[in-house]
Amino acid sequence: MIHRELGDNLVQIPFDFQEPGSFFARQSSGSRRVMLGFSSEMKAHVLVDYDNLPDTVRRSGLASLARTVHRTVEIHHHSADEIGIRLYGGWYDTHGLTQAGTCLAQEIGASFPMVVATNGQIGCRIHCDIASALIDTPADLLLHTFRQRKGIRSRLTAARVPNCANPGSCTVQTVAQWSRGRCHIAGCSVSANSVFTFNEQKLVDTLLCCDLIALAMRGETEPVFLVSDDDDMVPAVLLGGRLGGAIHILEGRVRQSAYGALLQRYNIQTSSL
């Protein structure tokens, strides 16, 4: 555990990662003692729509994501000396943390806080946590964000499959029929709700959007970086820009946004992760 002595502002921070001109710190067996002030000149907030991340980014781990985010923050807001990463997802079921939430919590504990330094001088601290409450009311936990429901999530429309190896036994139409809530066999009373279940997240997008707007109201001194390709976030991003927030979208996939011109009008910057 990192040891803080608040009286003389000393922090025991273990270092085990180095890059040319900088190094990151996390818990390890080797450590060194450094001076670290706790007053932040500029804090950048990174809101991560976790399940929207490309698989390659998730597999690379949170430490890799933090390094990537730091490089982007440094380009656009080089005076930021603190970065707070919040991970949004369905982390809680009826029993507490889900398996995915538990794994992320363990990874956060092993990799954060991280420290970026240049020429031996502390430049930026990076924190990471699971978003489980509104950023302005952290004591009010929002649980049950991962739920299992009966049936099939959406009604499917089936197209003819020209390359099917066995058209006479193709199950495409059968799957489409099940998505309408019932068995494809005439007279069968079995419903989709009795044989299928699916998982869904609740409150997650709304929580992220509320946090984005709340942070935007703090002004340009606390820039916000949204890591998401989801167009559902666009209304909140536009409102945040109108409220005077410095907002930057980091997309995991290269694409042409249908709202690019509108985002530019509100000075919302967009780049690839």
Number of Cβ within a 10 Å radius of residue 24: 21
- Residue 63: C-alpha distances to residues 96, 209, 248 (Å): 25, 24, 21
Examine the domain organization and report whether 169 and 226 are in the same domain: no
| SS3 category, 24 | strand
- Quickly state the pLDDT bin for 40 (edges 50, 70, 90): low
Residue 21 makes CB contacts below 8 A (sequence gap 6+) with 118, 119
Chain segment 237-249, per-residue pLDDT in tens: 999 999 999 999 9
- Does a structural domain hold residue 2? no
Tell me which DSSP letter residue 30 carries: -
Asked whether residue 178 falls in the same domain as residue 247, the answer is: no
Q: Is the domain of 48 the same as that of 126?
A: yes
Taking the C-alpha atoms of residue 128 and residue 122, their distance in angstroms, rounded to an integer, is 18
Q: Is the pLDDT of residue 202 over 90?
A: yes
Residues 159 and 140 in one domain: no
Neighbours of 272 (CB within 10 A): 11
Tens of pLDDT along 123-174? Answer: 899 999 999 999 999 999 999 999 999 999 889 988 877 788 887 788 888 8
Residue range(s) defining the domain that contains residue 174: 152-195
Q: Which burial class, exposed, middle or buried, applies to 177 when counting CB atoms under 10 A from its CB (0-12, 13-18, 19+)?
A: middle
N residues, the chain? 273
- Calpha distance 249→229 (Å, rounded): 8
40 and 124: one domain? Answer: yes
* Measured CA angle at 200 (ends 194, 203), to 5 deg: 135
For the chain, the domain total comes to 2
Q: Please give the model's pTM, rounded to 2 decimal places.
A: 0.82
Confidence of residue 252 (pLDDT cuts 50, 70, 90): confident
pLDDT at 19: 41
